[in-house]
Amino acid sequence: MRPAKDYIVFPLDVPSMAAAKKYVALLSDVVGMFKVGLELFVRSGPQIIKWIKSSGDTQVFLDLKLHDIPETVKRTMRSISDLGVTFATVHCGETKQMLEAAVAGSGGDVGVLGVTVLTSVSDTDLHTAGFREEFHSDASKLVMKRAAMAKDSGCMGVVCSGLEVQMIKDAFGKDFIGVTPGIRPAIDGVPDDQQRVTTPAQAILNGADYLVIGRPIREAKDPRSAVIQITAEIKQALKRI
């Protein structure tokens, strides 16, 4: 069984390399992976990835959520594959060709994850965006459709809500990776802009392989002890599966 801490992905959603380094130093022995997103990557470029990797035995998830024509996605994923990151993301919201291009560009050197429907999106948002009733009345239907596209395109897994990960595992097999953001420990109670949320324990019980947990850690009075509490919750949940 994997250690509980390895399930935790901490997003470095900070505006500077100095702030990112502070969190890496504080948390690298208690989380499994750091996620670098657009905000930090635009500031620091690949340097921050090199720095994180050289600072210890830590994995990096580059979350740029690519969304472009297939050729551009393929070429970008090829550049990403040189960086030594474990996972990189591409949106599932366009075409299957775009996902196939991401997988082709990765050359098998980085795990491509398809972003199904952002956990900040609600059924009402889907209605407003013009989706027909089948999809806006139940976001999980759209998530499943997009996860099927990701699976068929050769993606290693998907990013989805902890509410949907069980359906995805049932449909596409336990080796198809499920990464779940939108995690809110029960004691926090504040979903921020997230809509389709679960607790860490629920996400684990539903089969999540990785939990992206940002604000509940970053905004805690003591981020390190928040991680330790969450890890204890994950450990308990792992005993039940």
Residues 81-100 that bind ligand C5P (CB under 6 A): none
Q: Is 96 a catalytic residue?
A: no
Beta carbon nearer to ligand C5P, 39 or 68: 39
Write each residue from 138 to 177 as x if it is in contact with ligand C5P (CB under 6 A), else as -, in one continuous string.
---------------------x------------------
Reading phi first (left if > 0) and then psi (alpha if -120 to 50, else beta), residue 193 is in alpha
Beta carbon nearer to ligand C5P, 38 or 239: 38
Reading phi first (left if > 0) and then psi (alpha if -120 to 50, else beta), residue 154 is in left
| Of the candidate residues 52, 112, 201, 213, the single one contacting ligand C5P (CB under 6 A) | 213
Pairing, β 157-159 against β 33-37: unpaired
Write each residue from 12 to 31 as x if it is in contact with ligand C5P (CB under 6 A), else as -, in one continuous string.
-x------------------
How far apart, in whole angstroms, are the C-alpha atoms of residue 196 and residue 163? 7
Q: Given 65, 141, 145, 235, which residue is catalytic?
A: 65
Query: For residue 91, how many other CB atoms are within 10 A of its CB?
Result: 20
The residues, any chain, with a CB within 8 Å of residue 167's CB and separated by 6 or more, are: 140, 143, 144
Exposure string over 163-176, b if 16+ CB within 10 A, otherwise e: bbbbbbbeebeeeb
Beta carbon nearer to ligand C5P, 38 or 107: 38
| Of the candidate residues 215, 220, 224, 229, the single one contacting ligand C5P (CB under 6 A) | 215
DSSP assignments along 208-230, one per residue = -SEEE--HHHHTSSSHHHHHHHH
| Of the candidate residues 44, 59, 106, 119, the single one contacting ligand C5P (CB under 6 A) | 119
Beta carbon nearer to ligand C5P, 40 or 71: 40
Which sequence positions are flagged as catalytic?
A: 65
What is the binding site for ligand C5P (CB under 6 A)? 11, 13, 35, 37, 63, 118-120, 159, 181-183, 192, 194, 212-216
